[in-house]
Amino acid sequence: MALKIGDVVELKSGSPKMTITAQTERGNWTCSWFSEQPGTSQYQPGTNQADFPEAALRPVGGN
């Protein structure tokens, strides 16, 4: 899989659609997403960001 900044991805285990915004020095991908799901245990309104290893990500169709 050849990911790049700007790709839309999701976690293989399931997640909202996320946009790759950077690659870390360790080779992980920084992803950003917007959350609008109140009532969930992990609700954080607004934009969220986290780093993930490439092995945990898969492209979302239409990239």
> What residue ranges define each of the domains in the chain, with the CATH number in brackets?
1-34+47-63 (2.30.30.140)
Q: What is the pTM of this model?
A: 0.79
Give ∠ CA 63-42-45 in degrees, rounded to 5.
70
Write out the chain's pLDDT in tens, 63 residues. 699 999 999 999 998 899 999 999 999 999 999 876 655 556 556 788 999 999 999 999 855
Q: Counting Cβ atoms within 10 Å, is residue 29 exposed (0-12), middle (13-18) or buried (19+)? A: buried
Q: 2-27 as b/e, with b when 16 or more CB fall inside 10 Å?
A: ebeeebebbeeeebeebbbeeeeeee
